[in-house]
Chains A and B, each alone.
Chain A
Amino acid sequence: MKAKRSPVLDVPGLEATARAAVRNESFRDAIAAYKELLKRERRPEWETGLSEAYLHRARQVAAKGMFQEAVLLWENHAAHAPSADLSAEYVGWLLQAGQPVKLAQAMVSLTGPVAASPLGAQLTEAVALLALDNDKLTAALSGNHPILRDRPVVRRAIEAYAARRDEDAATALQQISSRSPYRSVRMVLKALLSREENPESTREQLARVDRSSLCRDFAEAVSRSLDEPVGGMESTDGKSKQQAVIARLSGFGKEPLALLRDAERAGQIDRPRALVELTLRHRQTLGDAVTCRLCRAALIGAPDAIPLYEKAFGKLPPFEASRTRALHAEQQRDIDAALLHWDRCLTALGKSPDDAQGRLGRALILRHKAKLCASERGQSAVRWLEESLAFDPDDKPTYLVATALAERSGDAKLAQSWLDRSLKRFPADTDILMAGLEAASRRKAFKKAAGYAKSVLQIDPIHSRARQFLLDAHLGHARKQLRAGRPDRARQEAEQARALDRQGRSAALCFIEGLVDYCEGRFEACAQRFEQGWAIAGAGLAARFQLAMETELAGTTLAAAGGPIRLAPRLEKGYLPDKPALMGLIKAIAQYREEGRPAFGRALKGLAAMLKKGLVQARLSEDDFVVLCQALADCGQFELVADCARQGLRHTPLAPGLVYFAVLANCKGDPARLMPHDERLLARAAEEAHRTGNRRASALISSFMDKFVESVEDSFGPDLDLPPGMEDVDPDQVMELLNRLMEIEAMSRDERIACLAEGGSTAPFRSLSNEQLMFAVFSKMLSDMGVDPAILGDDFPFGGAPQRGRRR
Chain B
Amino acid sequence: MDTPFEILGIDEDADDEAIKKAYLRAVRACPPERDADAFRRVREAYELISDEKQRHAYRLFHYAPPDLAAALRRAVKGGVPERPDAATLIGAFQECVRSARFGTRGEG
Give me the interface of A with B, judged by CB distance under 8 Å: 87-89, 91-92, 95, 118-119, 122-123, 126, 129-130, 132-133, 155, 158-159, 161-164, 185, 188, 192, 195-196, 210-218, 229-230, 237, 239-242, 244-245, 248-253, 256, 259-260, 262-264, 266-267, 269, 272, 275, 278-279, 282, 285-287, 290, 293-295, 297-298, 300-301, 323, 327, 331, 357, 360-361, 364-365, 368, 392, 395
Contacts and interface: CB of A to CB of B under 8 A. Distances in A.
A629 B81 CA distance: 72
B60 A361 contact: yes
Contact of A214 (B65, B70, B73, B97): B97
Given A162-B84, A360-B53, A360-B56, A218 B103 contact: no
Nearest to B82: A248
Interface stretch (B15-23, B27-35, B37-45, B88-96): B88-96
Contacts of B61: 327, 364, 368
Contacts of B70: 263
A241 B83 contact: no
Nearest to B93: A129
B85 to A, nearest CB: 5
Nearest to B76: A256
Given A88-B104, A275-B68, A361-B56, A239 B99 contact: yes
Contacts of A212: 105-107
B52 interface: yes
A251 B103 contact: no
B73 A250 contact: no
Contacts of B84: 162, 244-245, 248-249
26 contacts: A88-B103, A88-B104, A95-B100, A118-B107, A132-B94, A162-B84, A212-B107, A213-B105, A213-B106, A214-B105, A217-B96, A237-B99, A241-B88, A241-B92, A244-B84, A249-B82, A251-B79, A251-B80, A252-B79, A264-B69, A278-B68, A282-B75, A285-B75, A361-B56, A361-B60, A392-B53
B76 A259 contact: yes
Given A132-B93, A218-B93, A286-B75, A249 B60 contact: no
B72 A245 contact: no
A610 to B, nearest CB: 46
A212 B70 CA distance: 33
Greatest chain A CB density within 10 A among B70, B81, B83, B85 is at B83
Contacts of A91: 102-103
Interface of B: 52-53, 56-57, 60-61, 63-66, 68-73, 75-107
Given A130-B97, A357-B56, A244 B81 contact: no
Most chain A CB within 10 A, of B53, B95, B99, is at B95
B60 A122 contact: no
A196 B80 CA distance: 11
B105 A118 contact: yes
Contacts of B68: 263, 266, 269, 275, 278-279, 282, 294, 298
B68 to A, nearest CB: 4
Given A129-B96, A212-B105, A253-B79, A364 B73 contact: no
A267 B87 CA distance: 32
Contacts of B66: 275, 279, 293-295, 297-298
A161 B56 CA distance: 57
A163 B86 CA distance: 8
Contacts of A130: 94, 97
A267 B91 CA distance: 28
A123, A248, A269: which has the most chain B beta carbons within 10 Å? Answer: A248
Contacts of B86: 155, 158-159, 161-163
B30 to A, nearest CB: 18
A185 B82 CA distance: 19
A87 B94 CA distance: 21
A212 to B, nearest CB: 3
Given A239-B98, A249-B84, A260-B72, A218 B92 contact: yes
A214 B52 contact: no
B71 to A, nearest CB: 6
A185 B91 CA distance: 12
B106 to A, nearest CB: 3
Nearest to A356: B52
A155 B66 CA distance: 47
Listed residue (B61, B76, B96, B106) with the most chain A CB atoms within 10 angstroms of its CB = B96
